[in-house]
Structure 1
């Protein structure tokens, strides 16, 4: 055999080796799992009720690591420091998006992982400069992607159901690119986050704020705040305690206050006017804007106690600063089965993603 034939055979061998091995190596990259987070058992109060249905749909949210997060923190300190030349020069949404955007290598690597699992990248929602990805996947697919098993858990005191896992993993190569994946090991309950406000129909009627304000001889001095404020809080009490009784907001053309609403709680404008007439007479006729998020409602015939409390006291101490009430859809009960394949019981990230997608937002949220 001539040396030329040997060289040609060797060249052909070297050419075909990568072709023969490329697919197994590519597959092995996504099968090399490393635990991202794990509990030894379900958190206190939660009980496992068995495996989640394979066709149950999860809105998988993936947080990519932000490439210039340190620069963002530095910028926030600069605009907040009165002695710095950039004081008050707050970042625009575009500038924030640029600082929180993931590194291009992270985007490419995570996209490759998603594509390897058959996910259409055109259907992936990218928020917050591309650092948050949302993609709907079935439990069966999520389990393969995260090398885990999803189960149905029920809370002891609220009886709520959620689909979670006590441990999940990611391919080793992704650990440097992904911060967290949800829903996985974070257990929460909407009902436990309800406030303890409630109606007291037999309580003695409150003085209106004209009476309370008249007692504030020296606004801002705790010694002159009426004793009634120690048991019953009205807008006048709050304004006195914060020494803002005589303050009139000056930047009402630019400043806004946002109130987040959930659990089908609707703020009622007619009730707000009744509240104003008794506790903030100079605000009568003022109103608020309602923004509906993720299918949130605005039924003015069915006001919520919590929603009314929030908007009335927010308006009561901030008027005439514009207020925006965000009515976000999604509420319990939710039972993960074949009849209800999609969870509408955890709207917090839906609200957050909505806010992050806006070009302008209120300066303050409550």
Structure 2
């Protein structure tokens, strides 16, 4: 059975093609093909057809690098990583002091019935306030840890996208080679049938064969012409799919032979999937996140934070500038204990427990899927 690994070496965005040597290492099967996709049969076509010897030909490595660099999915996912990093920064700010400057002005109109006149005033207030979290029972640190794990989930999701992009590019590369070779095969067959047709016509003129026999040869030649047209259409389709997967049309592709390292037995394959499979690692991280979120909710609902607050303010009379301002300085410790919230806190606890149970079920389901795939 698949078991959680002791440690996870998560890839960084763009690290898969940081150099050509790293790229060649990434050609291992466990890193190249997504876990939920069987190895396509078309990969064997690379060994069935001879290499296309052309000048300045593109190898499979060149195609994969181009697809990686042109992928809009990967470019968009880089922003998701940056967004999550900003979320970590925002959450970390919860343990730091805050400082705010408040400015206000007010106008008051007083009516005196005895004096039959109005006593109006125009005032202003300037206040500098600060708050510092003294003790939150580890809630903010736990929240930061959760966001750090969420970043790992985003990176694993990016790895899955990398695998999908590379697999689509490899399949498109092989399909183009297949289409061109099948087209060449049909053309050779057409040339052979054309020679047979010419020979059959000569024999018919000499009376060696009947009209029926000549018609059979002509029908085979006509069918071969149709097959060439069909194969030519398949080449165009393969080229369009290649352009969609790689970001450019194929140009002088060459069949490249490479060695793929695969596990020697099922046990080794299961262990490899347990260590490297992004979907499985992501499911494990989701369980960890759910566990920490349950703990965070428990802290937030039962142990309110204790904050140190202070402020310095001055009140000004904007009509009498010679009047001495009224200054005020306050400092204190503040906490808020929830007495009744209409069941919201207990509901939040139950919700966090239900999320944890769902994450565990998803992990078992994902592990079973990977085991069945292998």
TM-score by length of 1: 0.20
Structure number with the higher helix fraction is 2
TM-score by length of 2: 0.19
- Which structure has more relative contact order (CA 8 Å, sep 6+)? It is 2
> Over alpha carbons, which structure has the higher Rg?
2
